[in-house]
Amino acid sequence: MMPTEKRLAPIAEKVLAGQRLNFEDGLALYASQDLPALGALANHVRERLHGDRTYYNINLHINPTNACFASCRFCAFGRKAFDEKAYILTPEEIVARARRSLPEGASEIHLVGGIDPRLKIEFYCGYIRALKQAFPHVHIKTLTPVEVVFIAKMSKLTVRETIERLREAGMDSMPGGGAEIFDDEVREQICEHKCDAAQWFETHREMHRLGMRTNCTMLIGHVEQPRHRVDHLMRLRAHQDEWAVRDETGNLLAGFQCFIPLSFHPKNTAMSHLPGPTGHDELRNFAVCRLMLDNIPHIKAYWIMLGVKQAQVAQWFGANDIDGTVVNEEIYHDAGASTPTGMTVEEIRRLVRECGRTPVQRDSLYREIAPVS
């Protein structure tokens, strides 16, 4: 595992000794072109934590609405309320869609959408309750801080009260979206109308204080610089140090359970002139994230966004999860993704095996479950 670049040697020593990396280490990692060395270091940590397992789940994505007033410059999914392609699904339509598309053995429905002033807390509690009633054993992972902060404002509630109401309706956990890049100046350029970093963290803190688990993300390949990425990762790590709750054996009970690096897809967005990240940068980023985020257990290579081939390679650059069947993806396909909008369990298991890892079916809390096939 000897890196060819001299500046990586002290970092490699720290990683092998299980020591925490600092801001400068993060910058040095992002400045490195030595992809094999970065991969080997990240893989060392990945295998220490998870051996050769690659987790997947059987899930379904539903976007309850694409109506959104936020106008994020990286987004091709959101539509203005008056746009003829804007839609808001009713709870009945959401349940009908789930009945139609939920794969056999599914353990999770993942729902996120736009923010629209017409939608108050009752709309969200309504679809969550309807889904729980129709599918009592399915985990409902829904709403990002962007939505929660907006619902709280529109419904004249605090973030805490909003989460309590959503939880009472049946929300089980929160997906990782809306994080983008935390730095104020970057947010100003790419998503000025949505919640800021302080509100994003406040929402996750309330989830964690209520004993729930959440995911987190970072969107790369737009206007951000390496220092913004390192800053982003260090803010997540500091939050996890402060708010994660673990049992006596160190297992996570509440806090960030999975981190998902996201690559900007430019097509049909206000930043379509940008090329998006290269394959090299994506893999380096996976490795750096695995190395910096020493207190977040899982790293997901979201195959929809990366493409199945890169998602396989990422399993050797720090990732230990590949997401799931998904079935019905819109956000990345509106932005030009050429992947299928869903995959079967057999396909997922095959592509995981083909890259030399062992496919392990999990539920939303990473409990292993016997595969359906």
Asked if residues 89 and 64 have their Cβ atoms less than 8 Å apart, the reply is yes
Of residues 202 and 323, the one with the C-beta less far from ligand V47: 323
What is the Cα 60 distance to its own chain's centre? 15
CB of 244 to ligand V47, least distance (A): 17
**Strand bridging mode 139-142 / 108-111:** parallel
Of residues 89 and 335, the one with the C-beta less far from ligand V47: 335
Asked if residues 260 and 217 have their Cβ atoms less than 8 Å apart, the reply is yes
- Encoded tokens for 315: 């399993």
Residue 8 to residue 372: CA distance in whole angstroms: 43
CB of 2 to ligand V47, least distance (A): 35
Of residues 109 and 288, the one with the C-beta less far from ligand V47: 109
Asked if residues 281 and 221 have their Cβ atoms less than 8 Å apart, the reply is yes
- Encoded tokens for 259: 């981190």
Largest CA-CA distance found in the chain, in angstroms, rounded: 60
Of residues 103 and 178, the one with the C-beta less far from ligand V47: 178
By Cβ distance, which residue is nearest to ligand V47?
A: 177
Of residues 11 and 314, the one with the C-beta less far from ligand V47: 314
Of residues 40 and 236, the one with the C-beta less far from ligand V47: 236
CB of 58 to ligand V47, least distance (A): 14
The dihedral sign for the CA sequence 128, 143, 293, 107: positive
Of residues 32 and 215, the one with the C-beta less far from ligand V47: 215
Residue 232 to residue 207: CA distance in whole angstroms: 20
CB of 277 to ligand V47, least distance (A): 10
CB of 266 to ligand V47, least distance (A): 7
Asked if residues 369 and 361 have their Cβ atoms less than 8 Å apart, the reply is yes
Rg (CA), the chain: 20
CB of 25 to ligand V47, least distance (A): 25
Of residues 213 and 237, the one with the C-beta less far from ligand V47: 213
Mapped onto helix, strand or coil, the DSSP state of residue 19 is: coil
**DSSP 8-state symbol, 223:** S
CB of 264 to ligand V47, least distance (A): 5
Strands (DSSP E) found in 10-117: 53-57, 59-62, 108-111
Residue 180 to residue 190: CA distance in whole angstroms: 9
Question: Which residues form the interface with ligand V47 (CB under 6 A)?
Answer: 74-76, 175-178, 180, 215, 217, 219, 260, 262, 264-265, 269, 302, 323, 331, 335
Q: Which residue(s) pair with 214 in the sheet? A: 174, 256
Please name the helix (run of DSSP H) or strand (run of DSSP E) that holds residue 259, with its range, or none. strand 252-263
CB of 127 to ligand V47, least distance (A): 18
